[in-house]
A and B are shown apart, each in its own frame.
Chain A
Amino acid sequence: MSALFEFLLRQGDNALVLGHRTSEWCGTGPALEEDIALANTALDLIGQTQLWLGYAAEVEGKGRSANDLAFLRDAYDFKNLLMVEVPNGDFGRTLMRQFLFDAFQVPWLQALCGSSDQRVADIAAKSVKEALYHLERSSETVIALGDGTEESNRRMQAALDLLWPYTGEMFADDAGDIEMAEAGVAPLPSTMRAAWDQTVQSVLAEAMLTAPQSDFAHKGGRTGKRHTEHLGHMLATMQVLQRSHPGAVW
Chain B
Amino acid sequence: MGVTEAQVWDWLDAVPDPEIPVISVVDLGVVRGVDVTGAAVKVTITPTYSGCPAMSVIALDIETALARQGVTDLTLETRIAPPWTTDWLSDKGRARLEGYGIAPPRAAGGPERCPRCRSTAVERVSQFGSTPCKAQWRCTDCLEPFDYFKCI
CB within 8 Å of B: which residues of A?
Answer: 33-34, 36-37, 40-41, 43-48, 50-51, 121-123, 125-127, 129-130, 133, 136-137
CB-based contact B80/A123 at 8 Å: yes
CB neighbours (8 Å) of B152 from chain A are: 129-130, 133
A116 to chain B, nearest CB (A): 15
Of B82, B83, B126, the residue contacting A37 (CB under 8 A) is B126
Besides the known contacts A47-B51, A121-B81, A133-B150, 14 further A-B residue pairs in the complex with CB atoms under 8 A apart: A33-B125, A33-B136, A36-B128, A37-B128, A40-B128, A43-B51, A43-B132, A46-B51, A48-B50, A122-B80, A123-B80, A125-B81, A130-B152, A136-B127
Picked from B50, B125, B128, the residue with its CB within 8 Å of the CB of A127 is B50
| Known contacts A43-B51, A44-B51; A126 and B128 CB within 8 A of each other | no
Contact of B80 among A36, A41, A126 (CB under 8 A): A126
In the bound complex, CA of A40 to CA of B130 (Å)? 9
> Which residues in B have their C-beta under 8 angstroms from that of A44?
49-51, 132
A-binding residues in B (CB < 8 A): 47, 49-53, 80-83, 125-130, 132, 136, 150, 152
Taking CB as reference atom, which chain B residue is nearest A32?
B126
A contact patch SS: helix
Residues on A with beta carbons closer than 8 Å to the beta carbon of B136? 33
Query: CB-CB < 8 A to A122: which residues of B?
Result: 80-81, 83
What is the minimal beta-carbon distance from B152 to any residue of chain A, in angstroms? 5
Taking the nearest CB of chain A, how far is it from the CB of B50, in angstroms? 3
- Tell me the complex Cα distance, A48–B82, Å: 15
Residue of A nearest to B52 (CB): A47
13 pairs across A/B with beta carbons < 8 Å? A34-B126, A37-B126, A41-B128, A44-B51, A47-B52, A48-B51, A121-B81, A122-B81, A125-B82, A130-B49, A130-B50, A133-B127, A133-B150
In the complex formed, the residue of B with least CB distance to A118 is: B81
Alpha-carbon distance between A133 and B83 when the two chains are bound, in angstroms: 15
